[in-house]
């Protein structure tokens, strides 16, 4: 037994891992040395050889070939040759021959150490001496074995095995085999070392996952990289593997506003008022507007947003207001030349003045577009501040009267000029009288 222990110890010290019989190497061929041992007396043809006189010696070869079926299960067979020494006086040595077919089950085939079990029932075993006095080829024999595989490299490895079997008749004896040797795994390689054989690996040069036939899933979102539009960011199947942080249906890589839910038409940005202009570009994000007015409403459609339109309900060009034609202004000022005020007054007085105001009203009624400025003036009598206030009251007096006569108040505005624009020579009573007036202008 010392010889066996030395062989096993040497083998263990010289190896470091397993050449597993797995999907990467479904075929394994093993070649080694065999040491057979008979455990029963050999009785046949009236002669007996005591088991005490028999000892095994190293023989060669031991040849095994197994093919993985699935998991750790393999099927195959083996051939073993050896010699049984007969130490009895005048005894002859026996040649040993054995063939078996069986099943092998390996444990931890993907790890660095893989023990295994073997069993079989079909095979032949023969013992022969030089005179052929003991010889029998059995119809069948049964065996069991335990062993382990170790690695010497990517495909090469080593094995050690103990097998116990029985010759069923002539002679009916039990025997054991110790086999040691090297093995070579082949079949389908695994270039990327991901546990999926190259034969089945759709991505043989990149380590991947078995569930994706060897292809990788870098972000771990359950979508293999080849089908993942965002292979380095975890996403959902409906978004082809891309994330959608705000859940608006626009993936982050295409979303200009990834943290705020928006609409696809605006690259994922919100449009609160639904006018087709994203809020960040919309000057009126809570009011539907037009692109021409930067998202703000334009009620009269004149291109001036309501917020900037001084006449939001009338289409115009001057700050959104309609232009008052020059001929209309001329007519207003022709009629208004008779709207004059007393030296210290702002009340409309006299039939001539009232008639002039009536004419102004008729002209405005006939020309309903545009805003008219009523400008109040004063003569140089009194102080300048007083005259500025007085001129405003005169303009407001005319405005009030026109509104009373039916003119829309939105069409009338007042301005005060005091004594800054006298009409005629204010050193004369006629000049001063003519300066106490109103004039009409269009709003620019």
Q: What is the CATH number of the domain that holds 401?
A: 3.30.1330.60
pLDDT-derived band at 2, boundaries 50, 70, 90: very low
- Residue 69 is predicted with a pLDDT of 85
The residues that bridge with 124 in the sheet, in sequence order, are 99
CA distance 145 to 100: 11
pLDDT value at 206 more than 70: yes
How far apart (Å, rounded) are the C-alpha atoms in residues 126 and 94?
9
String of DSSP letters for 359-390: HHHHHHHH---S-EEEEE---SSS-HHHHHHH
| pLDDT above 50: residue 214 | yes
Residue 388 domain flag: yes
| Cα atoms in the 13 Å half-sphere on the side-chain side of 228 | 22
> What are the structure tokens assigned to 411, written together?
């069409």
Split at pLDDT 50, 70, 90, the class of 176 is confident
Cβ-in-10-Å burial (0-12, 13-18, 19+) of 417 comes to: middle
Average pLDDT over residues 140-148: 85
In this structure, the strands spanning 372-376 and 42-44 are unpaired
The Cα–Cα gap between 239 and 261 comes to: 16
Nearest to 143 by CA among 85, 82, 78: 78
List, for residues 19-41, the tens digit of each pLDDT value. 455 555 678 899 999 888 887 77
In tens, the pLDDT along 4-15 reads: 443 444 444 333
Residue 133 lies in a domain: yes
User: What pLDDT is attached to residue 55?
Assistant: 72
Residue 280 lies in a domain: no
Among 102-106, 112-116, 262-266, name the one with the lowest average pLDDT: 112-116
With respect to residue 195, please indicate whether it lies within any of the assigned structural domains: no
- The first and second tokens of residue 121, run together, are 């029932």
Domain of residue 407 covers 326-442
Does the residue 175 lie in any domain?
yes
Q: Which of 289, 288, 270, 266 is nearest to 279 (CA)?
A: 270
Q: Report in angstroms the alpha-carbon separations of 177 from 60, 92, 303.
A: 12, 20, 102
- pLDDT, mean over the chain: 85
Please name the residue that has the structure tokens 């899933």: 217
Instruction: Say which CATH number the domain at 6 has.
Output: 2.40.160.20
- Report how far residue 47's alpha carbon sits from residue 241's, in angstroms, rounded to the nearest whole number: 80
Contact by Cβ (8 Å): 377, 391: yes
Of 46 and 98, which is predicted with more confidence?
Answer: 98
Q: Please identify, among 157, 186, 215, the residue that sits at the C-terminal boundary of a domain.
A: 186
Q: Coil, helix or strand for 342? A: coil
The domain total for the chain is 2
- All residues at 6 or more sequence positions from 385 whose CB lies less than 8 Å from its CB, including other chains: 418
Last residue of a domain, one of 186, 215, 240: 186
Counted residue by residue, the chain has a size of 444
Whether residue 136 is predicted with pLDDT greater than 60 in this model: the reply is no
Residue 173 lies in a domain: yes
pLDDT of 48: 74
Lowest mean pLDDT among 116-130, 148-162, 254-268, 302-316: 116-130
Per-residue pLDDT band at 129 (split at 50, 70, 90): low
The predicted-structure confidence for 37-66, as pLDDT tens digits, reads as follows 887 776 665 577 777 767 766 766 789 999
Percent of the chain predicted with pLDDT > 70: 85
Q: What is the DSSP letter of 437?
A: B
Among 34-48, 175-189, 309-323, the range with the most confident prediction by mean pLDDT is: 175-189
Q: Which of 164, 186, 208 is the last residue of a domain?
A: 186
């Amino acid at each position: 037994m010392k010889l066996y222990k030395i062989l096993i110890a040497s083998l263990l010290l010289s190896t470091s891992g397993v050449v597993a019989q797995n999907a990467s190497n479904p075929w394994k061929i093993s070649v080694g040395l065999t040491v057979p041992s008979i455990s029963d007396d050999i009785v046949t043809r009236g002669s007996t050889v005591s088991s005490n006189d028999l000892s095994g010696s190293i023989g060669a070869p031991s040849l095994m070939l197994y093919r993985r079926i699935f998991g750790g299960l393999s099927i195959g067979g083996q051939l073993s040759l050896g010699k049984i020494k007969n130490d009895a006086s005048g005894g002859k040595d026996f040649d040993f021959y054995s063939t078996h077919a069986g099943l092998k089950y390996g444990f931890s085939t993907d790890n660095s150490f893989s023990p295994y079990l073997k069993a079989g029932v079909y095979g032949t075993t023969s013992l022969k001496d030089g005179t052929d006095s003991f010889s029998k080829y059995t119809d069948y024999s049964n065996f069991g074995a335990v062993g382990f595989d170790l690695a010497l490299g990517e495909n090469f490895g080593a094995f050690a095995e103990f097998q116990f079997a029985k010759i069923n008749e002539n002679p009916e004896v039990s025997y054991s085999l110790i086999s040691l040797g090297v093995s070579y795994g082949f079949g389908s390689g695994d270039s990327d070392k991901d546990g999926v054989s190259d034969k089945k690996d759709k991505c043989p040069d990149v380590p991947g996952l078995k569930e994706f036939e060897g292809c990788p899933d870098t972000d771990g979102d359950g979508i293999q990289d080849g089908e993942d539009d965002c292979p380095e960011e975890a996403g959902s199947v409906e978004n082809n593997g891309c994330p959608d942080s705000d859940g608006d249906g626009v993936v982050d890589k295409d979303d200009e506003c990834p943290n705020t839910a928006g609409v696809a038409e605006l690259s994922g940005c919100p449009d609160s008022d639904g006018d087709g202009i994203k809020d960040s570009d919309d000057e009126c994000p809570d009011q539907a507007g037009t692109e021409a007015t930067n998202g703000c409403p334009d009620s009269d459609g004149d291109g001036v947003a309501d917020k900037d339109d001084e006449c939001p309900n009338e289409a115009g060009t001057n700050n959104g207001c309609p232009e008052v034609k020059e001929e209309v202004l001329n007519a207003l000022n022709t009629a208004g030349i008779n709207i004059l005020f007393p030296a210290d007054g702002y009340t409309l007085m006299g039939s001539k003045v009232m008639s002039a105001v009536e004419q102004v009203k008729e002209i405005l009624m006939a020309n309903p577009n545009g805003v008219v400025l009523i400008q109040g003036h004063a003569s140089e009598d009194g102080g300048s501040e007083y005259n500025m206030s007085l001129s405003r009251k005169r303009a407001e007096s005319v405005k009030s009267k026109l509104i009373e006569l039916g003119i829309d108040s939105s069409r009338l505005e007042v301005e005060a000029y005091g004594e800054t624009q006298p009409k005629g020579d204010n050193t004369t009573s006629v000049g001063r009288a003519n300066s106490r007036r109103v004039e009409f202008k269009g709003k620019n």
